[in-house]
């Protein structure tokens, strides 16, 4: 039995879901609201925020939190047919550099503005601040430019094979796309990459997510957007 504590529009939770999905591992989803975790979740996960993966095995319970640790754990199965990390150590370093980029830099530059304003504020009944959103959108433009630049010379973000870096990026981009924050016609190279990623079976459950009171963008679940 495998349970993932998650929140549907949390990019970190989505990274974990995508990694598990890519490895075709079955899991049950239990929702946790990041800004209002339950007492029982706090007892389970010292980080206090999703994602948290719990595996019941004969030897007891394995509890792994943070998108980073869960993704690496799931990738770490020695199955090269569905490898989420490339063979070369140099390329693995590039994957991990980019994962850190999305976990820390993209999160701080973009999520801390756009997602917290448009999701947390909407859910807790206050209005988003347009000045804060403007900053987040300026930062987002820089990040989309950087991703496009990377994709000019590579099939996928870190190298020529799909990796944890694409899952990290895709998790973030998909949340922003739910909120219609990306004007896809301005980013053709990125759009091609996201179309490939979005068509993968691991993405399907994410495209079915709906947040009550917050309708997704028109193209959110459309594979030919």
Binding site for a copy of itself (CB under 8 A): 46-47, 62, 64-66, 68-70, 72-73, 76-77, 89-90, 92-94, 96-97, 99-101, 103-105, 146
Take residue 116 and report the two structure tokens written for it: 């917290």
Q: Which CB atom, from 157 or from 179, has the smaller least distance to a copy of itself?
A: 157
Q: Distance between CA 173 and CA 150 in Å, rounded?
A: 15
- The distance of closest approach from Cβ of residue 198 to a copy of itself in the complex, given in angstroms and rounded to an integer, is 26
Comparing CA positions, the residue from 52, 6, 10 lying closest to residue 174 is: 10
**Three-state DSSP state, 212:** coil
Q: Distance between CA 153 and CA 147 in Å, rounded?
A: 11
- The distance of closest approach from Cβ of residue 107 to a copy of itself in the complex, given in angstroms and rounded to an integer, is 9
Q: Which CB atom, from 105 or from 200, has the smaller least distance to a copy of itself?
A: 105
- The distance of closest approach from Cβ of residue 79 to a copy of itself in the complex, given in angstroms and rounded to an integer, is 12
- The distance of closest approach from Cβ of residue 71 to a copy of itself in the complex, given in angstroms and rounded to an integer, is 9
How big is the CA angle at 164 (ends 132 and 20), to the nearest 5 degrees?
100
Q: Which CB atom, from 31 or from 48, has the smaller least distance to a copy of itself?
A: 48
Q: Which CB atom, from 46 or from 127, has the smaller least distance to a copy of itself?
A: 46
Alpha helix positions (H), the chain? 11-22, 39-44, 67-75, 89-100, 114-115, 121-123, 130-152, 164-178, 188-198, 204-207
- The distance of closest approach from Cβ of residue 150 to a copy of itself in the complex, given in angstroms and rounded to an integer, is 10
Q: Which CB atom, from 75 or from 179, has the smaller least distance to a copy of itself?
A: 75
- The distance of closest approach from Cβ of residue 109 to a copy of itself in the complex, given in angstroms and rounded to an integer, is 12
Q: Which CB atom, from 18 or from 64, has the smaller least distance to a copy of itself?
A: 64
Helices H / strands E in the chain, number of each? 10, 4
**Three-state DSSP state, 117:** helix
């Amino acid at each position: 039995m495998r349970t993932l504590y998650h929140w549907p529009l949390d990019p970190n939770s989505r990274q974990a879901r995508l990694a598990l999905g890519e490895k075709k591992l079955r899991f049950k989803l239990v929702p946790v609201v990041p800004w209002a975790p339950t007492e029982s979740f706090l007892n389970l996960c010292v980080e206090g925020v999703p994602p948290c993966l719990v595996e019941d095995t004969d030897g007891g319970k394995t509890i792994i939190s943070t998108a980073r640790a869960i993704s690496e754990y799931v990738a770490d199965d020695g199955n090269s047919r569905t490898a989420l990390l490339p063979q070369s150590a140099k390329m693995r370093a590039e994957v991990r550099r980019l994962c850190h980029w999305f976990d820390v830099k993209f999160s701080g530059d973009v999520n801390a503005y756009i997602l917290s304003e448009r999701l947390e504020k909407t859910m807790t009944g206050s209005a988003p601040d347009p000045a804060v959103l403007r900053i987040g959108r300026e930062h987002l433009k820089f990040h989309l430019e950087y991703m496009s630049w990377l994709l000019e010379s590579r099939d996928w973000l870190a190298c020529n094979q799909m990796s944890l870096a694409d899952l990290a990026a895709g998790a973030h981009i998909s949340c922003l796309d739910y909120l219609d924050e990306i004007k896809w016609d301005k980013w053709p190279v990125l759009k091609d990459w996201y179309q490939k990623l979005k068509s993968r079976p691991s993405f399907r459950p994410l495209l079915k997510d709906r947040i009550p009171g917050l309708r997704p963008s028109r193209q959110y679940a459309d594979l030919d957007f």
